[in-house]
A and B are shown apart, each in its own frame.
Chain A
């Protein structure tokens, strides 16, 4: 439950799972940020495939990581987002940031 982080030559892959709300987002955020600080990856891939629920706290989680990656000159992408997850994210109007990746594999 929460987040599983893998490090690849390509960057970090954060596989989120379960329900993302204000309660669970805190731990997820701390784990991802600690990895980012440690490895300074060029790319962060957030995988939402195993996410069963998400509210606006998930949008805060995404935007916060996006900004952090920008500070370090890296990129962030989202994969595996369900229609439900996208419905919440779309309210933020952040499609223009180009963070959605349709293919579920790790893009090079």
Chain B
């Protein structure tokens, strides 16, 4: 199926861009007229993925983070957050609740949040090459206004 709209943004891994990423994804998904809670779920999940790129993928340098997003007329939203950072050697372990390599101030809950706030989470990573996190969420369509316009 063809996407009814798509977008792509790339920005440096500065922590001030966490709120930028949330604002951009919210503005984009708003086109599907999501419920308030659905929008917060997406904002939160994207915030987690972007924060992980900033903290973990590029621990001591500024690198590029790219977000691509697609909207479908069925209400499906697909968001990819990618970095070219250090990668994750054991993705399964990294996704376990409370697992963290981030020290005292991290709770190891980012992937748990992404998992419980979206309908599908996929993580592909290669050590030294980077990580791609794909989030999918189905927005409940109100009437049938999400047609192509």
Cβ of B106 within 8 Å of any chain A Cβ, yes or no, is: yes
Q: Which of A25, A26, A56, A63 has the most CB of B within 10 A?
A: A56
A 56-76 contacts with B by CB, 8 A: 56-57, 59-61, 63-64, 67
CB pair B51–A21 under 8 Å, yes or no, is: yes
B18 touches which of A23, A63, A67 (Cβ 8 Å): A23
Tell me the smallest distance from the CB of A99 to a CB of chain B, in Å: 14
Cβ of B133 within 8 Å of any chain A Cβ, yes or no, is: no
Distance of A25 Cα from B16 Cα, bound (Å): 11
Residues of A within 8 Å of B51, CB to CB, are 21-22, 55-57
Count, chain B residues at interface, CB 8 A = 25
CB pair A21–B116 under 8 Å, yes or no, is: no
Q: Main secondary structure on chain B at its contact with chain A?
A: helix
CB pair A55–B47 under 8 Å, yes or no, is: yes
B113 touches which of A53, A56, A64, A67 (Cβ 8 Å): A56
Annotate B90-124 by CB proximity to A: 1 below 8 A, 0 otherwise: 00000001100000111101101100100000000
Residues of B participating in the A interface, judged by any CB pair closer than 8 Å = 15-16, 18-19, 22, 37, 40, 43-44, 47-48, 51, 54-55, 97-98, 104-107, 109-110, 112-113, 116
